[in-house]
Amino acid sequence: MKACLSGTGRVQYLLLACCLFHLVPLSHCGTCPSGWQKGYNEDVCLSLMINLSTWSDSETACKAKGGHLASLNTLDEFYFVQAICGAGALDGCWVGGQEILQAENGVRQWKWSYCETTHDIDLLWVPPLPNGSCTGTTCSNPASPLLCTVVTRAGVKWDFCSSSHSFLCAIGPESECTSPNQSHREYPIILISVCTILAVTTTAIVAFLLAYRRSKRRRRSRRCKLAELSSASGLLQPAFRLYTIRELEAMTGNFSEANLLGSSQDANRGTYRGVLSDGTLVAVKRFQRTPLQSQKEFVYDVLRIARLKQPNLVAVRGCAYENRQGYIVYEYLPNGSLDQRLHYRSPVVPALDWDQRMRIATTLAQGLAYLHDILKPHVVHRDVRASNVLLDEHFDAHILGVGLSRLVLREATVGRTVIAGTYGYLAPEFVYRNELTTRSDVYSYGVLLLELITGRKPTVDGAEPSEWQSTFEWATPLVQAQRFLELLDPTIQTIPDIAQIQCCVDLVYACTQHVPASRPRMSYVVHQLMQLRQGLVPLLLNRAQNPTPRPLVNSSEHINVANLGDNTSSVEIEITEVLS
């Protein structure tokens, strides 16, 4: 690269030297020859010869000195030469203008001595050619010069070229050949323009090479950082690795919609099915691009998540980060998400039966109990919803998105969503007072448990909150009338005992109490559900010990929170240490 730049620099200096060679005036390169003086232009040298000679002899003498008789193209040049030729006792001196008679049309024209181009336009300071100048034998050769110009103290006059006068020689560029009214000063301008274009082009090439070199160095540095993170044995889990974006595209078929897990509305930042080179299935979660997080921060956040180990948490297999966009690779669970099985299943896929739903509710409660009661400090998931629950081959629930708070906070800051969690699952104290405890997850779990029983989503996709009836508004009249069978999802084939349905409904309303302190701990919920699955009706969940259920979110409350976020918006912040 250094040699390339130095070579480019030499080319640039050579181009500039060429420009200077053409544009620097003659007088700047050195003084005029001995016996010569600077002329009317900086690039012209003049020499006055006082010996009397004819015009043709004068032109021959000037050519012998490497020049020609002086030419006058501007008024300033005329004044400059007049001061020389009219000085002292001189009676004028020859300059380069001469008359030419054109034989074809008889038009009398004149030209400068060193040019073959003739002109019929007189200069303002040169008098018209006198009539009758062609007399006697001089007209026998129409091509011979008849009159020539002499500069005197009184001005410019025409005289027979055979007369004798002093003469003024000039050395300099002969750029006046095309027109006597122009000195062709556009030549230096053209040269300057060409040189400027060449210099700008060269500078642009050098800038491109520097930018390319910097980009290459940055990519090399990024690969080194990835290698350094990959070799950090004290931080990485044995099954954890860092992937490249090309590897993820190969796994997921370039993130094709056919591999999308869940509804298509999450395609921009959804979860995709992928296949590793050894045939292992994985799930790849893609985050929205954000400028607020570096690669190192993202990788360490994911490593922190990967260290959480519990059977009901989705295991992290690796991650990738490129172009300010993060990806997390999870273990793949064959039965997909709970949201997909409840609301988007294929007709050939059987619906969840009651026992499977109770198994899902129990294992999900076990995962939340681990976050709330086992981990120190306690962890609030903050986004418990059906699409964040994945199902394995035994229909055990695995919680997705644990610890993604810091990642999704940066994602949400870039977008327009400002509310945390998913609307419909949010606890009232968080919506209205921004209070967050482990009991907020308990509330979301209660909403999800009711979704499992009824098969109804807590929100309607794409609808405003004031336009739909919440699940609680629909379910409460049926509960108050003790019409529990009407609460069941119509796709459930085996109808459970009414006492089991009633116990589950009681547990739903216990988890969704307005006062957070009135909600049970998740370890208590696990205990009640395990008893229920064993065929025991928990005594603490009988109807006499619970208040009459009522809608927890009414229509006016829907309107109050309508502007807080989208129906399906999902935003999380950092893992929160709370006192339960």
* Spatial distance between the Cα atoms of 357 and 348, rounded to a whole number of angstroms: 19
* Residue of 209 and 96 predicted with greater confidence: 209
Q: Is the pLDDT of residue 314 over 80?
A: yes
- The 3-state DSSP class for residue 353 equals coil
Residue 8 dihedral angles phi and psi, to the nearest 5°: -60, -40
The beta strands (E) that lie in 348-488 are given as 389-391, 397-399, 421-422
> Under 8 Å CB-to-CB from 488, ≥6 apart: which residues?
453, 454, 495, 496, 501
How high is the mean pLDDT of the chain?
75
pLDDT band at 2 (very low <50, low <70, confident <90, very high): very low
Closest by CA to 89, choosing from 169, 165, 168, 170, is 165
pLDDT band at 117 (very low <50, low <70, confident <90, very high): low
**Given 3.40.50.1860, 1.10.3720.10, 1.10.510.10, 3.40.50.2300, which CATH number is that of 335-571?**
1.10.510.10
User: Could you tell me the two tokens for 511?
Assistant: 């988890």
* Spatial distance between the Cα atoms of 16 and 10, rounded to a whole number of angstroms: 10
CATH of domain 31-129+143-184: 3.10.100.10
Going 82 to 83 to 85 to 89, the CA torsion angle's sign is positive
pLDDT band at 501 (very low <50, low <70, confident <90, very high): very high
Number of Cβ within 10 Å of residue 492's Cβ equals 16
pLDDT band at 261 (very low <50, low <70, confident <90, very high): confident
Residue recorded with tokens 């640039």: 12
Ordered by start, the domain boundaries in the chain are 31-129+143-184, 232-332, 335-571
Domain 31-129+143-184 matches domain 232-332 at the CATH topology level: no
* Spatial distance between the Cα atoms of 172 and 67, rounded to a whole number of angstroms: 7
Going 568 to 569 to 575 to 580, the CA torsion angle's sign is negative
Return the CA Rg of the chain: 48
- The 3-state DSSP class for residue 20 equals helix
160, β-bridge pairs:
147
332-362 burial, b for 16+ CB within 10 Å, e for fewer? bbebbbbbbbbbeeeeeeeebbbebbbbbbb
Residue recorded with tokens 């009988």: 542
- pLDDT given at position 453: 95
Least confident among 81-85, 361-365, 451-455, 573-577? 573-577
Report CA 579 to chain centroid distance, whole Å: 44
- CA dist 459 → 268, 356, 386, 488 (Å): 21, 23, 12, 18
> Under 8 Å CB-to-CB from 436, ≥6 apart: which residues?
380, 382, 430, 576, 578
Q: Is the pLDDT of residue 26 over 70?
A: no
* Spatial distance between the Cα atoms of 489 and 478, rounded to a whole number of angstroms: 14
**Cβ-contact 504, 517 below 8 angstroms:** no
Least confident among 65-74, 137-146, 251-260? 137-146
β-bridge pairing 389-391 and 156-160: unpaired
**Cβ-contact 51, 168 below 8 angstroms:** no
User: Could you tell me the two tokens for 405?
Assistant: 């708070």
**Cβ-contact 381, 437 below 8 angstroms:** no
Distance between terminal CA atoms of the chain?
62
- pLDDT given at position 225: 63
* Spatial distance between the Cα atoms of 381 and 430, rounded to a whole number of angstroms: 13
Q: Is the pLDDT of residue 576 over 50?
A: no
Q: Is the pLDDT of residue 139 over 60?
A: no
User: Could you tell me the two tokens for 498?
Assistant: 């009414």
Q: What are the tens digits of pLDDT across the range 502-548?
A: 999 999 999 999 999 999 999 999 999 999 988 776 654 443 344 44
Q: Is the pLDDT of residue 500 over 60?
A: yes
Q: Is the pLDDT of residue 263 over 70?
A: no
Positions annotated as catalytic residues are 383
* Spatial distance between the Cα atoms of 235 and 102, rounded to a whole number of angstroms: 100
Helix (H) or strand (E) holding 296: helix 295-306
* Residue of 577 and 330 predicted with greater confidence: 330
- CA dist 379 → 223, 575, 576, 578 (Å): 33, 6, 6, 8
Least confident among 4-18, 158-172, 233-247, 493-507? 4-18
Q: What is the pTM of this model?
A: 0.54
Phi-psi region of 81 (alpha: psi -120 to 50; beta: other; left: phi over 0): alpha
* Spatial distance between the Cα atoms of 577 and 437, rounded to a whole number of angstroms: 8
Number of Cβ within 10 Å of residue 389's Cβ equals 27
CATH of domain 232-332: 3.30.200.20
Least confident among 86-95, 131-140, 156-165? 131-140
For the chain, the residue count is 580
pLDDT band at 40 (very low <50, low <70, confident <90, very high): confident
pLDDT band at 172 (very low <50, low <70, confident <90, very high): confident
- pLDDT given at position 44: 85
The 3-state secondary structure of 219-249, one letter per residue: HHHHHHHHHHHHCCCCCCCCCCEECCHHHHH
- Angle between the 522-533 and 498-511 helix axes, to the nearest 10 degrees? 180
